[in-house]
């Protein structure tokens, strides 16, 4: 989807009153916006003005008696997004001095992140957000033809704008910003979503894993088994405690921790296993839990990429002893900043994590252990509550997009993701493999298609882990994945046309 636009009052009146003589784009512009699903906005304060002038002028022109005139305005309003007119007011602003309404339109457009379409030249001269209809149409047509972003973080928030703003206003009005009713409500709702008993909101996904490990008493001298091919945060959580990450290779086809290789990595120091539900596909938890039970180890799910993913019909988060989730904005359930959660059926663990996230304190200013400041804040919790209600729908859309990729790339020269019967993924990442990955990525980039590499360098080859002294070749399966993997766009708001463009370019590019 393209940028959203805010329509100046004159543009709307041109359309409603068919003012062909003064605006040759009177009809073309609104039709273009509707046809291309470009969100168009009106600031709240404009509605009364538009309605007043429209009725007055329609009566003067003898149009008001026609039922179509009223219908047109109702229809127009039903298609528009109404955005707020901010209460900010600066009498000395140059726009405010020239025309109060333009100034308010400018503020509304700034707040909603919109361009303004206007045919008021003086307004345009004072604002770099303003575009005359013709100039806007040519920019829009050009960008329509090019970009497929890897990740679209604007559209989901635009679609939910009014609900997110209501959550923001509720938090603002509550005057309570840390550890209050919103966090508590989100914790209940997210625990219920995961079908687990407890959820504790924390500062990030990394912190969620770190606090679980701490709460289980893992520290210096201990070892924790971790996939060799994960985002470095999984390893860092272990290192934060002073324990040592012990990497194990993944399965070739699922990219998830290979249960067959775990037992060989267990030593008397091993305390836990962290399977990562990488790319949104649940790791093979039954054999992992069985190994852990035989060896007296904790199983900590890294569910940062897998909100809502299922394993044997059950949602991740309640499959091991505890799970860490991330709400980093790009995740399937993302906040508008950092956030994370510990989810568990272990009541004692949940209780300890509650102290640890809050300076080690159960009662204010009474500190039982040396804790941390790692809390999900009220505002993020309020926003996450809104987004949680849409998670399943958006995961289902990712599934549809994945199905199309899987069907239409089946005979392309690429390795496609493999989904075992035991799992229903949520497609946080749709990763393909190709021996000439960099060339393929370049070819997609030339066609205006964004891709990412998850991840270019495995943790054991990062300078941050030089102390573990793993050289190149230590984890060949992992290293091959990192050389060949490429993630395609799979945001829930990717359009059919955009996806068709990715597929077409990939089919051609992967032949090489
Ligand atoms: C697999 C994995 N684990 C942990 C994390 C850490 O989450 P956060 O960024 O919220 O700290 C991430 C985030 O990207 C992740 O992908």
pLDDT digits (tens, 9 = 90+) for 89-143: 899 999 999 999 999 999 999 999 899 999 999 999 999 999 999 999 988 887 7
Confidence of residue 1 (pLDDT cuts 50, 70, 90): very low
pLDDT at 512: 58
326 Cβ closer than 6 Å to some ligand 1 atom: yes
Q: Is the pLDDT confidence value at 315 over 90?
A: yes
pLDDT at 88: 85
pLDDT digits (tens, 9 = 90+) for 301-310: 999 999 999 9
**Neighbour-count burial of 111, counting CB atoms closer than 10 A to its CB (0-12 exposed, 13-18 middle, 19+ buried):** middle
36-40, 45-49, 229-233: the lowest-pLDDT one: 36-40
Q: Are the C-beta atoms of 429 and 451 separated by less than 8 Å?
A: no
332 Cβ closer than 6 Å to some ligand 1 atom: no
Q: Are the C-beta atoms of 429 and 255 separated by less than 8 Å?
A: no
pLDDT digits (tens, 9 = 90+) for 366-385: 888 899 999 999 999 999 99
Phi-psi region of 473 (alpha: psi -120 to 50; beta: other; left: phi over 0): left
206 Cβ closer than 6 Å to some ligand 1 atom: yes
pLDDT at 508: 87
pLDDT at 139: 85
pLDDT at 145: 61
pLDDT at 510: 77
Phi-psi region of 255 (alpha: psi -120 to 50; beta: other; left: phi over 0): left
328 Cβ closer than 6 Å to some ligand 1 atom: yes
pLDDT at 140: 84
For residue 206, report the distance from its CA to the centre of ligand 1, in Å: 6
pLDDT digits (tens, 9 = 90+) for 330-371: 999 999 999 999 999 999 999 999 999 999 998 888 888 899
Mean pLDDT of all residues in the chain?
95
pLDDT at 395: 98
For residue 302, report the distance from its CA to the centre of ligand 1, in Å: 8
Confidence of residue 2 (pLDDT cuts 50, 70, 90): low
pLDDT digits (tens, 9 = 90+) for 129-172: 999 999 999 888 877 665 899 999 988 998 899 899 999 999 99
Residue among 278, 326, 341, 342 to mutate when testing ligand 1 (max atoms within 8 A of CB)? 326
Q: Are the C-beta atoms of 197 and 191 separated by less than 8 Å?
A: yes
pLDDT at 147: 81
Over residues 449-457, mean pLDDT: 96
pLDDT at 466: 96
pLDDT at 105: 97
For residue 234, report the distance from its CA to the centre of ligand 1, in Å: 7
276 Cβ closer than 6 Å to some ligand 1 atom: yes
pLDDT digits (tens, 9 = 90+) for 215-263: 999 999 999 999 999 999 999 999 999 999 999 999 999 999 999 999 9
Minimum CA distance residue for ligand 1 atom 4: 233
Q: Is the pLDDT confidence value at 414 over 70?
A: yes
Query: What are the tokens at 439?
Result: 């060339």
At residue 39, what are phi and psi to the nearest 5 degrees? -70, 125
Percent of the chain with pLDDT over 90: 89
Q: Are the C-beta atoms of 206 and 338 separated by less than 8 Å?
A: no
238 Cβ closer than 6 Å to some ligand 1 atom: no
For residue 490, report the distance from its CA to the centre of ligand 1, in Å: 18
For residue 304, report the distance from its CA to the centre of ligand 1, in Å: 5
Q: Are the C-beta atoms of 84 and 78 separated by less than 8 Å?
A: no
Which atom of ligand 1 lies at the shortest distance from residue 340's CA? 10
Confidence of residue 281 (pLDDT cuts 50, 70, 90): very high
For residue 300, report the distance from its CA to the centre of ligand 1, in Å: 14
Beta-bridged to residue 81, according to DSSP, are 41
């Amino acid at each position: 989807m393209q940028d959203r636009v805010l329509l100046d009052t004159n543009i709307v009146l041109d359309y409603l009153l068919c003012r062909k003589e003064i605006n040759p784009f009177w009809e073309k512009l609104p039709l273009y916006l509707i046809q291309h699903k470009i969100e168009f906005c009106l600031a709240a304060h404009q509605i009364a003005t538009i309605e007043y002038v429209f009725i007055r002028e329609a009566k003067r022109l003898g149009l008001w008696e026609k039922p179509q005139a009223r219908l047109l305005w109702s229809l127009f309003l039903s298609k528009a997004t109404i955005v707020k007119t901010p209460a900010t007011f600066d009498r000395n602003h140059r726009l405010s001095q020239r025309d109060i309404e333009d100034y308010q339109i400018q503020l509304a457009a700034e707040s909603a992140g919109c361009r303004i379409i206007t045919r008021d030249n003086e307004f345009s001269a004072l604002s770099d957000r303003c575009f005359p209809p013709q100039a806007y149409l040519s920019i829009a047509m050009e960008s329509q033809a090019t970009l497929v972003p890897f990740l679209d973080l604007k559209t989901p928030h635009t679609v939910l704008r009014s609900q997110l703003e209501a959550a923001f206003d509720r938090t603002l009005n509550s005057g309570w910003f840390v550890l209050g009713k919103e966090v508590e409500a989100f914790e209940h709702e997210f625990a219920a979503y995961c079908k687990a008993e407890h959820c504790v909101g924390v500062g990030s996904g990394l912190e969620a894993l770190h606090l679980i490990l701490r709460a289980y008493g893992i520290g210096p001298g201990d070892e924790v088994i971790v996939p060799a091919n994960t985002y470095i945060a999984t390893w860092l959580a272990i290192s934060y405690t002073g324990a040592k990450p012990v990497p194990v290779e993944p399965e070739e086809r699922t990219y998830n921790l290979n249960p067959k290789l775990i037992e060989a990595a267990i030593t008397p120091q091993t305390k836990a296993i962290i399977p990562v539900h990488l790319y949104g596909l649940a790791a093979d938890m039954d054999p992992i839990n069985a190994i852990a039970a035989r060896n007296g180890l904790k199983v900590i799910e890294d569910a940062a990429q897998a909100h809502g993913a299922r394993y044997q019909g059950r949602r991740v988060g309640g499959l091991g002893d505890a799970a860490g989730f991330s709400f980093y904005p790009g995740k399937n359930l993302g906040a508008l900043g950092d956030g994370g959660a510990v989810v568990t059926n272990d009541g004692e663990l949940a209780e300890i994590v509650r102290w640890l996230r809050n300076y080690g304190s159960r009662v204010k200013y009474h500190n039982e252990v040396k804790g941390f400041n790692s809390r999900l804040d009220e505002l993020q919790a309020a926003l996450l509550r809104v987004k949680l209600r849409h998670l399943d729908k958006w995961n289902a859309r990712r599934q549809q997009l994945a199905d199309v990729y899987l069907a239409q790339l089946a005979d392309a020269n690429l390795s496609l993701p493999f989904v075992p019967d035991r799992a229903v993924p949520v497609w946080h990442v749709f990763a393909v493999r190709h021996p000439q990955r960099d060339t393929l990525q370049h070819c997609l980039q030339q066609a205006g298609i964004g891709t990412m590499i998850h991840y270019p360098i495995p943790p054991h080859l990062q300078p941050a882990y030089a102390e573990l002294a793993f050289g190149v070749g230590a984890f060949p399966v992992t290293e091959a994945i990192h050389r060949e993997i490429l993630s395609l766009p799979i945001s829930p708001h990717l359009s059919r046309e955009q996806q068709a463009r990715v597929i077409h370019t990939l089919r051609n590019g992967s032949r090489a």
